[in-house]
Amino acid sequence: MRAKRRKMVEEEDVHPDERWMASYMDMVTVLMCMFIVLFAMSTVDQDKYEQLANSLATGFGAVDAGMVDTAEGVVVPADLVDNKGESPTEVTHSADALDPAEATAQALANAEAATQEVMKLDQLEIAVTANLTKAGVADLVEFHITDRGLTLGLVGSETFFAPDSAQLTAAAITVLDAAAPAFVATAQKISVEGHADKHGQSATFASDWELSASRATQVLRRLVEQGGITGGLISAVAFGSAQPANTGSTVADMAQNRRVDIVLLSEQPDSVRALIPGVAAEN
């Protein structure tokens, strides 16, 4: 009987299956990690808190896993990362950023291009003026160099258009026919821009818009049909009375608003054209 009891005691002291200890150790490890995290968060930093929340959410599958931009602490989807491991923001910044030497070189190149463009426009003005002088109508045209290019202003008291009329006067025809050869030689794009004095509806035109459009169209047709300008290089625009040359109310002031501007457009990029007025003012 005693031997049998001793054998039972020995069997109770043996624990062949101790797998529960592995689970216990895992639980203790997790608890330790949790308390370490809680201790680290005892002083809350909002940015670090959000980064930690995002990281935990990703780790537990709440957010689709992607590549983490360690510099910013945000999740970057894998399909938006190039083969060098750069995020789109990094790629854009590296492509757009210019070092001081490159920026200086670009500024000098733009200034040189603007200078060359002003010289080109000056030569064009000289050529047109020479033709107008031969025709005896040089004093009827005003020249302006702007960031858009060279503008020829057909302005004058009933010189080019009679009141409430889009029909070209004899002086207007002389000016256009004299200037056209220089336009053809330069092969630049041309914008013909019609303007009118503010008088509202009339018996001939429903509004200033129709009047200014008709004036611009008449100038365009003369340059194309008689002057030889290629149709694909020229366009007509109507401004009505929205851009008056003179805001006065006298008869002479109103007459200055009955005009057409012929703009020989610069084809330089915006960064170069922005410098043209300053360069032109220095010449």
Parallel, antiparallel or unpaired: strands 234-238 and 190-194? parallel
CA distances from 214 to 195, 237, 278 (A): 10, 10, 34
Lowest mean pLDDT among 44-58, 69-83, 99-113, 225-239: 69-83
Q: How high does pLDDT run on average in the chain?
A: 80
pLDDT, greater one: 39 or 33 = 33
Helix axes 170-186, 208-225, angle to 10 degrees: 60
Query: Where is mean pLDDT largest: 18-22, 30-34, 69-73, 97-101?
Result: 30-34
| pLDDT: which is higher, 104 or 7 | 104
Average pLDDT over residues 103-109: 89
List of domains in the chain:
2-96 (no CATH), 101-282 (3.30.1330.60)
Q: Is the pLDDT of residue 219 over 80?
A: yes
Whether 95 has a pLDDT exceeding 80, the answer reads no
Token pair of 29, please?
């490890």
Distance of alpha carbon 159 from alpha carbon 220, whole angstroms: 18
Give the model's confidence band at 65: pLDDT under 50 very low, under 70 low, under 90 confident, else very high: very low
pLDDT classification of 196: cutoffs 50, 70, 90: confident
Is the pLDDT assigned to residue 7 strictly greater than 70? Answer: no
For the ranges 41-50, 239-248, 274-283, the lowest mean pLDDT is seen at 41-50
Nearest residue to 149 via CA among 276, 283, 260: 276
> Residue 261's CB: how many other CB atoms inside 10 A?
23
- Spatial contact of 78 and 66, defined as CB atoms under 8 Å apart: yes
Q: Which residue has the higher pLDDT, 35 or 174?
A: 174
Q: Which is higher by pLDDT, 129 or 251? A: 129
Coil, strand or helix at 163: coil
| pLDDT value at residue 266 | 96
pLDDT at 149 over 70: yes
